[in-house]
Amino acid sequence: QPPVRGLRASPRARSAMPSWVIDRYGRNDVLRFTRDMVFPIIHFPNEVIIKVHAASLNPIDLSMRSGYGATALNMKRDPLKLKSADAEFPLTLGRDVSGVVMECGLSVSYFKPGDEVWAAIPPWKQGTLSEFVVASGNEVSFKPKCLSHTEAASLPYVGLTAWSAVNQVGGLNRSNCSGKRVLILGASGGVGTFAVQLVKAWGAHVTAVCSHDASTLMKKLGADDVIDYKSGNLEEQLKTLPLFDFILDNVGGSTEKWALDLLKKWSGATYVTLVTPFLINMDKLGVADGMLQTGVTVGSKTVKHLFKGVHYRWAFFVPSGPSLDEIAELVDSGKIQPVIDQVFSFSEVPKAFLKLEGGHARGKTVIDVISKK
């Protein structure tokens, strides 16, 4: 008789899979390899199950391992508080995936099993350091044809973060970017290397700030000016340059105090920062007060800077298949390439986390999930 729909016609139905999980928040020793992670199930008709070929690590994985943002993420995972405490564990980290569609929910018409796809899975869902992962169809996009899975896995999360900051929040696009002066602080990390290439592809003049040993990389990615933040006072070095139309800040901290003075006044110039206290506020102050405090902070900063004639904005990662489609187009046309610092095998995930924790990455740390090392 034919196999019943929904059950796999394999000798034993898949109920478990290999995965890297954490059972509590903490340092690197909380990472645990298991072969018994629950196999993902399609709960909604718009979901797909992806067989993970490669994943990559982002700073948010370190933050989540340590428990940063847990309050906000748990609220998103379980808004009605139906589950008992600690229901988020075992938790699989990893946001990026490049792989192959295995199964599709009933309303998925855009993808079919066997399609090569990539995606960035939002942080309130189970992650990609696993043999399989479930994603919403609207978070998924066809992988760029010119990239291997390992290369492709390096891009979705940083690409969408940069896209959100530059395009959705910053308002830059291919038709208005030409000749604009753009400053990127923290240019050699994952988001930075992507952002440099993106605004360059749109015709901007790019000034990249990074440490000296990344300057060759920056030039290769198309940066017009490269400033070494260690070779003297950064603020003074930047003040000697013409003013900017747009600043993307991946660094945060005290930078904010002086960086806004580098923008052209009263010309629609915008400063966008990716370093926001949103999740920290929610952890410290609880959900309602955290949101309020965050609203007050960004509100007062926005107003203060509007009086000075510049725009101040916060940006966040936003999962989006349609934006990944646009990014894939830029990749396939050769305008954006992955920048990979190091590739680790699936057995070396803790090592990859330590590498990321060491900082000073030149691009991305990637995990090759499928090769059996």
Q: 264: which DSSP letter?
A: P
Which burial class, exposed, middle or buried, applies to 183 when counting CB atoms under 10 A from its CB (0-12, 13-18, 19+)? buried
> What pairs with residue 132 in β-bridges?
51
> What pairs with residue 33 in β-bridges?
20
Residue 132: name the closest of 77, 73, 55, 28 by CA: 55
Contacts of 232 (CB under 8 A, 6+ apart): none
Walk me through the domains of the chain, giving residue ranges and CATH numbers. 16-156+338-368 (3.90.180.10), 170-314 (3.40.50.720)
Helix, strand, or coil here: 256?
A: helix
What does the pLDDT read at residue 96? 98
What does the pLDDT read at residue 300? 83
Residue 130: name the closest of 60, 34, 44 by CA: 34
CB 60, CB 125: distance < 8 Å: no
Helix, strand, or coil here: 101?
A: strand
Q: 244: which DSSP letter?
A: B
Place of tokens 């492709």: 152
Question: Per residue of the chain (373 residues), what is the pLDDT tens digit?
Answer: 544 444 444 444 678 999 999 999 999 999 999 999 999 999 999 999 999 999 999 999 999 999 988 888 888 898 888 887 778 899 999 999 999 999 999 999 999 999 999 999 999 999 999 999 999 999 999 999 999 999 999 999 999 999 999 999 999 999 999 999 999 999 999 999 999 999 999 999 999 999 999 999 999 999 999 999 988 899 999 999 999 999 999 998 889 899 999 999 999 999 999 988 776 667 777 767 777 787 778 878 888 888 889 999 999 999 999 999 999 999 999 999 999 999 999 999 999 999 999 988 789 999 999 976 5
Q: What is the identity of the amino acid at 42? A: I
What does the pLDDT read at residue 289? 78
Q: Where are the beta strands (DSSP E) in the chain?
A: 16-22, 31-38, 47-57, 91-92, 96-104, 116-120, 132-136, 140-142, 181-185, 205-210, 225-228, 246-249, 270-273, 311-314, 340-345, 364-368
Helix, strand, or coil here: 99?
A: strand
In whole angstroms, what is the distance from residue 340 CA to residue 364 CA?
5
Phi, psi of 6 (to 5 degrees): 100, -25
